[in-house]
Structure 1
Amino acid sequence: MTTKAHHDAHETFQLGEFTVPRLWTGLWQLSSNAWGTAPVSKIRQAMGRYVESGYMAFADHYGSAELIFGQFRASLESPSSILGATKYCVFKPVEISRDTVEAVVRERMERMRTEKVDLLQFHWQDYTNLDYIRAIEILSDLKTEGLIAAIGLCNFDALHTDEICARFPGTVVSNQIPFSVVDTRALYAMADVCAKHGLKLLTYGTLCGGFLADKWIGALEPDPYSGSLNPSQRKYLDLILKAWGSWALFQELLVVLRGIGQRHSGASVSNVATRWVLDHPAVGAVIVGARLGCTEYPADNLKVYSLVLTATDHTEIEEVLARSAGRHLIETIGDVGAEYR
């Protein structure tokens, strides 16, 4: 799988039958008013602005995300030009049969107003329950029958991703997992599994809930209980303070990222943090969560495509990371996805 050169307007990569951009729009913030809310009409208008800017892939299924996305895509002249990724999540024991799995897929199709799910990402909570093998087998059959275009995983660790890819060669095209300059667990076994099976990572948490941004430089350490943080910010602040390092060290990281950005035509901290993740061969795309209709940064995020980090840039970032506990997260938290189990 190859990507276009950095100087192109939009980098793309191959994901199953799709050629897709390397920046996706994440819709998980539609799951709750805790992130802020906007009327559905405003959200659809925002989706239109994103598409006009070249954001041709949207991902997630929480709350009303599928319904709003389906309404939006159905209103377009060429709906097939937009990729919609959704999920099939199994959090507790359920019957895994042809009928139950197909019902889930058909519900996704109905909600997204499509005759075929573009990318269905599968999450399985309990690895001790081996029914996930049967679920993948059924999903593969449904793909063969034309109900699914591509199958991905979500928050699977390296061991079980490798197992599934070996058992069902060529069936799975991606794994959606956390990956950022703070959370580098993907660089361990997962990167090797991706190289072995031709898998691409779709990463989230790449901006640590928005903390990897210029506006936090010089800011006092936030109070997680103040009520001023959204759910993502509370989650990633906890990661930064309790597992990765300290607010002071995080400030050093922000200053380094800003300095690098200033050397590159004023790129933002978020641009540099995103580019750093995209530069890893296993990564297909970064999914940037958007508070559609509330706050949007599509123009700023596009600067990532023209940003080329140098060896010096990488060295400066690594110098800060080496003083953090980031390299030990795989021991303290576990492999990617372990925090959800």
Structure 2
Amino acid sequence: MSLPPIERTTIGDGISIPRMISGLWQLVDDKNVDLDAAAHAMKLLADLGLDCFDMADHYGDAELVVGRFRATSSQHMLAFTKWCPPENGIKSFEAAEQAVDLALRRMGQEQITLMQYHIWDYSDDTYWHNLAHLRTMQQQGKIKHIGVTNIDAAHLELLIDTGFEITTNQVPCSVLDQRLVRGRLASVCEKHKVGVLAYGTLLGGFLSEKWLGQPEPEDIDALNGSLRKYLRFIRVAGGWEPFQGLLRALSTIAHAHNVSIPAVATRYVLDIPTVSTVIVGCRLTSDSSRYAERNLEVFSFRLTEDDHALIQKAQQALLDIPGDCGDEYRRPPYLTAAGDLSHHINIVQNDELREAIATGRRIEYSIGSPWEPIAGYCRAVRTGNHVCISGTTANSPSSLSLPVLGRHSARSQTVAILDIISRALKALGGTLSDVVRTRIIVRNEADCKEVSQAHGWVFQCEGVRPSNTLFVASLIGSEYLVEIEAEARLGSAGVLRLSS
């Protein structure tokens, strides 16, 4: 049987990639990878036209398989990788260079085509340092393009407004998870020509004939990591019954086109204008090319208007996945395999802070600004459960030659400022959800709407609405468009909203 031609697209400065990439995250759990056999499986996929592979520094031996492929084959192949360091305060260029050089050695390459960076915590300024280091190595020729993973619209826009050239954003997207298009992310990617690399398209395998008409798994812990993760997505989206309704709609369409449910689900995502490609999991075994041939049926048909209408009708029974793309790694509900962040982030307890709080001491938090000792102030002060945060601007991290964060965008400066405020609150034992009051100073009245929208989005994510004052006034430093100060009361149990 002849295979349909594989659709291709371009990213960056004209790099041609197939609209289906082989994702190698499943190699994480494989401790005994036969590098020669895996490289041979990679060659068979490349021979089919699936010549692009996605991996990361923590995907087991994935980068080593690329190195073996390079050493044993002249076949064209592209390898995208990721650097996902713990944001542990290590911000040196040497640490970043070691990570990139290790990837280059493992893959047997002189240049990384696409290095993707993952940010665990927007309030931790480590990522600004690391992205600046990656940009330096891009200028040196070690990296061709820089991408990001699981970045929401506001922070993607912030990075771009600050001056970073971001080629791609790898985010989850499926017929069930519509955050990409229901929020601002798709429009931000389209505006700035950022290619979307979509994963989670088949919900870890739930979007298949295997689960059609079947009962919901009773023991989530008996499932593999991917199924545990995406069962949490299904439950947050309304539960098993609405999901079965979606499966039935996909099955009807699949029968009409004589293809599989996975093909229909994948075709749906590929039809989203901002999606460059989908990433499909692959273990690089002797069966990989056989599974790939089955996956290629997605390129053999097109969804009709009636097909899209049927899918949309089934989607009406679903609830929206909360937040923006990537929020599952940063705030509740944690839609991860573990149901929390224990597999990703080590939370360090500050015993000194806990003791100071218990004994009622005044706690002052400084960020090392040279102005703090001169003017006699600090970023934030905690007394009891009350925290006051000084007027904050979008200063770039010290020691970096970056312009003001967000540069000429008041919206992005607001996002950066609230990240800095969040960092101060975390250092003092609180979060943005503890904020009871904000005061916003805007240089230009024309920016008030965008500043208000950014402020509203941040606190909507936190589930609170602080009291607020916004006014127009001069600010010291022509580059600063916004300044915000905040007050927080720690320890409230939930929110009661009253209306007049």
Q: TM-score normalised to the size of structure 2?
A: 0.62
Match of 1:20 among 17, 36, 47: 17
Q: Measured at CA, do residues 33 and 302 of structure 1 come closer, stay the same or move farther in structure 2, by a change above 3 Å?
A: same
1:11 to partner: Cα distance: 1.2
Runs of 4+ in 1 over 3 A off after TM superposition: 37-42
Match of 2:162 in 1: 167
Q: Deviations over 1:244-269 (max 9, x none)?
A: 122222222112112112222x1111
Q: Which residue of the other structure, out of 254, 262, 275, is the alignment partner of 2:255?
A: 262
**Range that drifts further, 38-47 or 129-138:** 38-47
Given that 1:224 and 1:237 are in contact with CA atoms closer than 8 Å, whether structure 2 keeps it comes out as no
Cα pair 1:271 1:303 within 8 Å, conserved: yes
Q: How does 1:276-295 map to 2 (within 5 A)?
A: 276-293=268-285
* Distance in structure 1 (CA, Å) of the matches to 2:81 and 2:66: 10
Task: For residue 68 of structure 1, give the secondary structure of its aligned residue in structure 2.
Answer: helix
For residue 10 of structure 2, what is the amino acid of its counterpart?
A: Q
Residue 245 of structure 1 pairs with residue 245 of structure 2: no
Among 66, 69, 73, the alignment partner of 1:72 is 69
Unaligned runs of 5+ in 2: 331-500
Aligned partners of 1:226, 1:86: CA distance in 2, in Å?
A: 29
Per-residue deviation, 1:9 = 0.9
Specify whether residues 74 and 118 from structure 1 end up closer, same or farther in structure 2 by C-alpha distance, changes over 3 A only: farther
Query: Larger helix proportion, structure 1 or 2?
Result: 1
2:75 is the alignment partner of 1:63:
no
Partner SS for 1:152: strand
2:44 alignment counterpart: 49
How many angstroms does 1:141 deviate by? 2.0
Query: C-alpha separation between the residues in 2 aligned to 1:46 and 1:223?
Result: 36
Find out whether 1:127 has 2:116 as its counterpart: no
Deviation at 1:14, TM superposition (A): 1.1
- The C-alpha deviation readout for 1:42-99, integer Å capped at 9, x for no partner, is 4333222211211111001211111122212332113xx2110111113332322322
Task: Indicate the residue corresponding to 2:326 in structure 1.
Answer: 337
Q: Which has the higher contact order (CA 8 A, sep 6+)?
A: 1
Aligned pairs, how many?
322
Contact 2:173 2:180 in 1 (8 A): yes
Q: 2:265 aligns with which of 250, 273, 282?
A: 273
Q: Does the 8 A contact of 1:217 with 1:255 survive in 2?
A: yes
Cα 1:94/1:68, change in 2 over 3 Å = farther
Secondary structure of 2:167 counterpart: strand
Deviations 1:104-152 (A, max 9, x none): 1111101111001111000111111223223222212211211001110
- C-alpha separation in 2, matches of 1:271 and 1:165: 34
Check the 8 A contact 2:19/2:278 in 1, yes or no: yes
Instruction: Write the distance in 1 (CA, Å) between the matches of 2:220 and 2:123.
Output: 35
Relative to the length of structure 1, the TM-score reads 0.89
- Aligned partner of 2:136: which letter? D
Aligned to 1:315: 309
Superposition RMSD on alpha carbons, in Å? 1.9
Q: Indicate conservation of the 8 Å contact 1:46/1:293, yes or no.
A: yes
Aligned ranges for residues 130-145 of structure 1 at < 5 Å? 130-145=125-140
**1:1-44 alpha-carbon deviations (Å, 9 max, x no partner):** xxxxxx9712111112411111000000000149xx76444433
Q: Which residue of structure 1 lines up, in the alignment, with residue 478 of structure 2?
A: none
Q: Tell me by how many angstroms 1:317 deviates.
A: 0.3
CA distance in 2, matches of 1:203, 1:130: 26
Q: What is the identity percentage for the equivalent residue pairs of Structure 1 and Structure 2?
A: 38
- Say if 1:160 and 1:30 are closer, same or farther in 2 by CA, change over 3 A: same
User: Aligned letter for 1:339?
Assistant: E
